[in-house]
Structures are given as C-alpha cells and as structure tokens.
Structure 1
C-alpha cells in the first residue's frame, strides 16, 4: 500500500535504503498518512486525494466531509432497504399466486366516521413514496392524541386522496375515530369520512410491505365483477401491535355506483 502511495506521489518515504530498497518513514509523516486514509475511506479516488492534499485540507474540513459522506451513505442504505422491501413484496405476490381467492373480497357498506388526524402529501401512490410519509404521520397523531388526553374510539385509518391523475401527488390522511369534537389547540384536524354505499373489502394479514398481493387480488375482483373504484383504498389497521408479520389490516375500496 505504501509503495503504491509513493508511486502516486501521495506519501514519499523519508529515506530509501539503496541496498535493500526498504522505505523508511518518520513520525511526522503520520499526519499525512492519516489524511490519505481518511480521504480514501470517504470515497475519494487516490487522484482526488492527491489534489485535496495539495490544498492542505484542515481537520475541520475533513470532519465536514465525513458528515456529508455519512449522510450520503445513510441515504444509499435507506434506498437499498427500500429496494429490498419492494423486491420482497413482489416475491410475496409471486408466491401468493394461486393461494388467494377473489371470494375473500367482501362487499359492504361503510358508515361515516368522525375522526381526528393530520395530513401530509406523498409524491405518488407508489409504496416507495407512501411508506416514508404514513408511518411518521401516524406517530405524530398518536403523540398529539396522548398529549390531549383523547382516547381513540377505533383503529387507525389511512385515507388517501389523489390529485392530477394516477401519477399525481397523494394527500395522506392519518386518522383515528373520536367520539367528540377535537379542539383546535390540540394541533389535530377534525375529519369526517363520508359513508360509502358499497366498498370492496379484504382483510390483509402481515406487514404492509406485503400488501401488494392483497391489492392485486382486489384488482382481479374488480375485473371479475366488472366493478369500478370510486377513489383510493382506505387502510384500517385492525391489529398493528407487535411484529409486522402479525398485523391485520382491512383494505376498503369504495365502488362507483
């Protein structure tokens, strides 16, 4: 490694034995070696390291580069985890083929719901866009409900409204049914979900990372029944404590008359 650094001019030996070819370095050169290794670990090429060393990068600048690199690596790791989750969800769909029946879809009437919650916007209805929004939003709603001493009257509901067609942004409403008006001072908004005359419903078991198989099953049911949706699917989190594999969620898709 040191000979390679020498060849590139990054770290010249203080002395080279003319008979053995051994290279000798001084303690004073440790500072430069530390910079070479630190910059290399930050992802810079050795050519870039040489240019930065020529500029005599200060420790504070190195610390700033480290923080930036940490943020970049965190983003890359999050993106990799999201890709793995999507791949796992798609594999679950493949494995579920032939094991789920459209007979599991139940058509029923949904009553109006008075709720308290918050709203955020996701770039699209794609799971990669929805997931980072809906989780933190529900966390904040739960925090505000606890702070206000309001006890939910039912399970949480994710209600979605899309604008601008299938590729448009989506309003994400994280809601909990409540039995009374919600004071504005709580920081929560009051919502009323209208009653739905007919909705195609399906109970999904397991993590929401694998919900795609259930959503596709509802889609096949729509084709079989020649039915049309009247909006996006609501998600009612019947059981969401414990491990995600034990979660139970009812999907509710309003149907056009």
Structure 2
C-alpha cells in the first residue's frame, strides 16, 4: 500500500485533492490507521483516480464523475452525457475562435490607422427607399453578435422574394435600431424593391425615409474588420462639426457571402450639425 503522499505523487495530484475526494466519497483510501489517521491506497486505485481526472478535465462536475464511475448510468445515458459535453466544448471552441477573429480584426484596425484619409468621406443626401426586409435581434452591436443574427436573413430573404415572384431593384443593405431592452439590437436585412406591400408575402415591405445628410465612406473587406473604417468616419464627423445620428446604414455594393474579404460596403452614417 501507499501513503497518501506517495499515492498523490504517483497520481500527479495534490494531497489536498485526495483528502477532498475522500471526504465526498469519490475516492476513499483502502485503509485508515485508527490511531494516526493516516490514509493508505493501493496501486489499483490509480485506475479510478485517472478516470476521475480525465472526466473532470472534460468538464464534468465531481457529482457527475461519481455517478459515472459508480455505474449508476446505463450506456445510453452515459453516451448522452458525453455527446452533450462534446456539443458544449464545440460551442466553446467556436466562441473562442470568433473571439480570436475579433481580436485579430481589432489589431488590423489599429495597424491600419492613418492609412485612410478623411477626404475619402463623402457627405450626401440619401434618397427614400422602398425595401423588402426580414428582421432579427442581436445581443449587442458587436460584430460577433451582429453577424450571426443578420447573415442568415439574406438567403431567406432572397428565397421569399423569389416565391413572391419579385426581383430586387438595388443592392442589399442593412440598418439597425435599438431594441426595447438594454443593449439588444434589431437588425434589418433589406433589398430595394419596386412593389407594393402584399399581405400574402411572408416578408415586410417598408419605406425608408430620405436622410438629409449622411457621412459616407467605402469599406473594403469583411464587416468584422470595419472598426478602422468607422474610426475614420468618426474622425471626419468630429473634424467637420457634425454629430452622428443613430446607427450607420450598410449598403453592400458588392455582397460576397462566400468570400467576405472581397466585399465592398458603403457605410452611411446619418449626421446632424453639432
């Protein structure tokens, strides 16, 4: 048999952890000296310890680990738990990947500072538009939240327009407005059309009013790298005595769903005199 210290070293865990596992009944020593209280373990118990550590590293709670190791679950239940954990880990990896992409985009925005000049900004009036649109809600205005909320709307919008035997008359666009609760954003995926609303269609046809003044600039590349272009736009607005009024509209001059890097977008920020 091994003392708790020797067993901890062989199992590459701490003595404190083994004492905790004993206290909750997850891994009890085979013997405890009645006078000294010393705990003793056997080599065969390393098998259970290794399984405890492996399942814990997968994200299972100690209560779940104990249930699994004590064979209280049948094969299908265990398979279900493992599948659920796999899905959770995959979602976490996807979220971390998106977060890394966002960081990279911010870094590129910092590196590109000063490469675009404010004379690239054009002040103009935006005419009224009639658009067919679908809407959704994003958790916030961050690219990581906006993209997943609005991108699936465009193929569905095209599909519904085709079903309604209607063709767009202009490029795709997006516009935004705050939702009623906190930071959430209502996203509008839209296409310019020249038709009247029809209750038979499963999409909305709305009229966007004219915008008397908008500071506009061309952004090239994916929208998750728009931070640098928005920074340029903000500098122009400030330097020229204007004030931003609401969210910028996005007019997709070249909409490249399969190759976002090839996208060309005109950012249209409504402004008023400061």
State the TM-score, normalizing by the size of structure 1.
Answer: 0.80
Gaps of 5+ in 1: 11-21, 24-31
Specify which of 85, 106, 124 is matched with residue 140 of structure 2.
Answer: 124
Specify which of 90, 112, 119 is matched with residue 128 of structure 2.
Answer: 112
1:99 aligns with 2:115: yes
Q: Distance in 2 between matches of 1:150 and 1:253?
A: 29
Following superposition, which runs of at least 4 residues in structure 1 exceed 6 angstroms of deviation? Answer: 7-10, 35-38
Q: Distance in 2 between matches of 1:239 and 1:63?
A: 46
State the TM-score, normalizing by the size of structure 2.
Answer: 0.75
Q: Distance in 1 between matches of 2:243 and 2:200?
A: 40
Equivalent residue number for residue 26 of structure 1: none
Gaps of 5+ in 2: 1-9, 12-17, 19-25, 29-42
Equivalent residue number for residue 186 of structure 2: 171
- Is 181-190 or 110-119 further displaced after alignment? 181-190
Cα drift, residue 79 of structure 1? 1.1
Equivalent residue number for residue 218 of structure 1: 233
1:144 aligns with 2:199: no
The total of aligned residue pairs comes to 236
- Is 191-200 or 48-57 further displaced after alignment? 48-57
Cα drift, residue 141 of structure 1? 1.2
Alignment CA distance shift 1:180-1:51 (3 Å): closer
Q: Distance in 1 between matches of 2:226 and 2:186?
A: 19
Equivalent residue number for residue 201 of structure 2: 186
Question: Residues 156-209 of structure 1, C-alpha deviation per residue, up to 9 Å, x if partnerless?
Answer: 1101112569x5322111110011124222200011111111100000001111
Alignment CA distance shift 1:79-1:182 (3 Å): same
CA RMSD of superposed structures (Å) = 3.1
Q: Distance in 2 between matches of 1:145 and 1:37?
A: 55
Q: Distance in 1 between matches of 2:64 and 2:178?
A: 46
Alignment CA distance shift 1:53-1:168 (3 Å): closer
Q: Does the aligned pair in 2 maintain the 1:42–1:65 contact within 8 Å?
A: no
Question: Residues 50-94 of structure 1, C-alpha deviation per residue, up to 9 Å, x if partnerless?
Answer: 442214211111121022112211220221122112101111111
